[in-house]
Amino acid sequence: MKTTAFCTATAVGSYIYRNIAKNATIKSSSSTHSTRKKMSSSLALGYQEIQNQPAQKKQEQQREFTSINAHRHTPLTDDGVLEARVAGKMLKNSGILFDEVHTSLLRRCIRTTNLVLMEMEQEYIPVHKHWRLNERNYGELVGLNKKETVKIHGTDQVKRWRRSYDEPPPPMCNRHQYHPAKDPRYRHMKDLIPKSESLQDTKARSRVYWDDIIAPELRAGKTLLIVGHENNLRSLIMRLEGISKEDVINLCLPRAVPLAYRLDENLKPLDRPDGKLDEATGFLRGEWLGGDQAVSDILERDHKQVYDTTITKNMETCDVDKSRWRDWMNLVVGEADPAAKAASDCRTKN
């Protein structure tokens, strides 16, 4: 028996789902055709945080290190809300029907989940929240501007803190203004919340939830959607794909772009229909619902945004193509004004 799983990663948040439809139609947003896949079950991941990541956070916080405890209860920007809705539309077009959603305790992830389900017209699905799906704890780096941190500690050190497998940032002191112990949602589990985490640590805590909750439900044939964060989704993808701890430093995920996997009965990824690895990262067997090229462009932009210290502007808000990108998103969710729709139709024909 073959099991099909779909994982999605988006700028809105992270999602993982599993579909039990016997004959689900998966449609890529970047393609005009649909592919019919026979399955007994399926899994999807998403990062706005695979895996889907929450949509854009508020403007002044977009380039800060966040944490397991969602310092400032980081909300979504207007563009982030739109990104989440677009991700939901992509998932709706895939034809997947979910049984349950699993997400974190963080506000931005919960909001992303609600927006995605609204666009999918599946708001009736049970949603389960757990701290083990929270974002990684960056310790003393939480609240610091990423680019300023690069200037102080250097590109190599910051990249190791962010992307390596077993090198955690400096631990958070008890006086830190964003210490999880100060958050009422963790009042009954203060001893469980770490003061800093590497990807290895994040993988260990996410694995408990995977082994105890996700995997048994997938094997039972349920269709699950997981809306998570970049690093817990990286840890899950690392496990699914068998990525080594040396190579995982090269695994980056875009926000709000669903990534679909087909899994066998052992929950191992099957090859993509074209038999190739994805072109965005070069080593994943998942299928980006937004298209490989779009993901590649997003990852290149995000890398420059953090590590290129010569760039001082926010590339997401100052990009000359921003208005065109927003017009396209509005068109996808059906809210473009007539003039914008006509212009888009004209560009498509030309």
Residue 129: phi and psi, rounded to 5, are -115, 140
Which residues are annotated binding-site positions for substrate?
108, 135-138, 146, 162-163
Closest CA to 225 of 134, 132, 126, 130: 126
Residue 270: phi and psi, rounded to 5, are -85, 160
CA distance 72 to 49: 18
Residue 18: helix, strand or coil by DSSP?
Answer: strand
One digit per residue, the tens of pLDDT, for the chain of length 350 reads: 444 444 443 333 334 444 333 333 344 343 333 333 333 346 677 655 333 445 454 434 445 766 555 444 567 888 888 889 988 998 998 888 889 999 999 888 899 999 999 999 999 999 999 999 988 888 888 888 888 888 899 999 998 998 889 999 999 888 888 887 788 888 888 788 888 999 999 999 999 999 999 999 988 888 888 888 888 888 889 988 999 989 988 888 887 778 888 778 888 888 888 888 988 888 898 888 777 887 888 777 766 766 666 766 655 555 545 566 667 677 777 776 555 544 544 444 44
Q: Where are the domains of the chain?
A: 5-319
CA angle 77-224-208, nearest 5°? Answer: 90
CA distance 247 to 12: 25
For domain 5-319, the CATH superfamily is Phosphoglycerate mutase-like (3.40.50.1240)
Which residues are annotated binding-site positions?
108, 135-138, 146, 162-163
Q: Which residues of 161-194 are buried (b: 16+ CB within 10 A; e: fewer)?
A: bbbbbeebbeebeeebebbbeebebbeeeeeebb
CA distance 248 to 270: 20
